[in-house]
Structures are given as C-alpha cells and as structure tokens.
Amino acid sequence: MDAEESPEVAERLGSERRVYTRFEVEEDASLLLVSHESWHPCKVVDLSLEGCQVSTGARFQAGTQKRVEIKFKINGIVFRLSGVTQWTDNAHAVGIHFCYPTPRRREELAEVLGEVEAAQAAKAQREAEEALAQQPMEMPQCGP
C-alpha cells in the first residue's frame, strides 16, 4: 500500500493485504507525535494485532512514517503502544502500525482482541436471533 493510500482506497483496488483481523471499536485514545512531543485526542475506530486506525479531532498533518505512541483502554486494560504512521487520508484518519517493545505486550493485546471477537460474535448471534423472531410466521395452507 502506498504511504498515503487509505484502507478504503486499498479495498477498492482489491489490494487488501492485512494479515490480522480488524475489529471495529470506538475507544477514546491519545496519540503522541514523538517528534513534536505533543499529545492529541483521538478515537480508535478499528484495531488489530498489528495496528489500528484512529480518527483525530483535527486534521492530521504530520504525514506518514512518523513515530507515534498511542494510549487507549479496551476491556478495562490500558495499552500504551509505540508505532509508525502508515497512511493518512489527509484529513482525520490515520493508520498506525504497532512496534512492540516486548512479546508479552503483544500477547496481552491478542488476549483482549480474543475477548472483543467473542463479544462481537455473541452480539451478532443475538441480533440474528432477534431478527428471526420478528419475522412473521407463515401459516400452513390447508386444502384447496
């Protein structure tokens, strides 16, 4: 994927190359642009074991291949991970690739993502059951 190419563009081009499943989340976060030593509020909108997409409140002008740290809380566990910006849509969305300092931190995120996956699967199952229960029952036809 080109440095400035957003995931939406990649999907349209059929060049989705992610290895790990992304999970839609909506978690408040803080993004540190290391070179400027400045924190920026943001939201994590999707998360995987290798990175995340964040939405910033203001236009993200730092560009790509910039060292960042992101701090967010998911399922009650606080993560502060280092990474590198991989893409930006030149507006409010930024893709970050994580750089793990220790294997343990990666394992912790993998465990939490497993919990997120299970919760999302259970929610989808409940919604499917509710939709099925709301469908009108067909009455059998009796005779001509």
pTM of the model: 0.76
pLDDT digits (tens, 9 = 90+) for 80-129: 999 999 999 878 999 999 998 889 999 999 999 999 999 999 999 999 99
Overall domain count for the chain: 1
- The span from the CA of 118 to the CA of 120, in Å, is 5
The CATH number of the domain holding residue 103 is 2.40.10.220
Question: Three-class SS of residue 128?
Answer: helix
Position of tokens 């563009």?
9
Tell me, yes or no, whether 1 lies in a domain: no
Tell me, yes or no, whether 79 lies in a domain: yes
- The span from the CA of 25 to the CA of 45, in Å, is 5
The mean of the pLDDT values for the chain is: 85
**45: its two tokens:** 């909108």
Tell me, yes or no, whether 141 lies in a domain: no
Tell me, yes or no, whether 88 lies in a domain: yes
Statement: residue 6 has pLDDT above 70: no
- The span from the CA of 56 to the CA of 61, in Å, is 11
Greater confidence, 104 or 17? 104
Tell me, yes or no, whether 143 lies in a domain: no
Statement: residue 3 has pLDDT above 80: no
Tell me, yes or no, whether 139 lies in a domain: no
- The span from the CA of 9 to the CA of 143, in Å, is 57
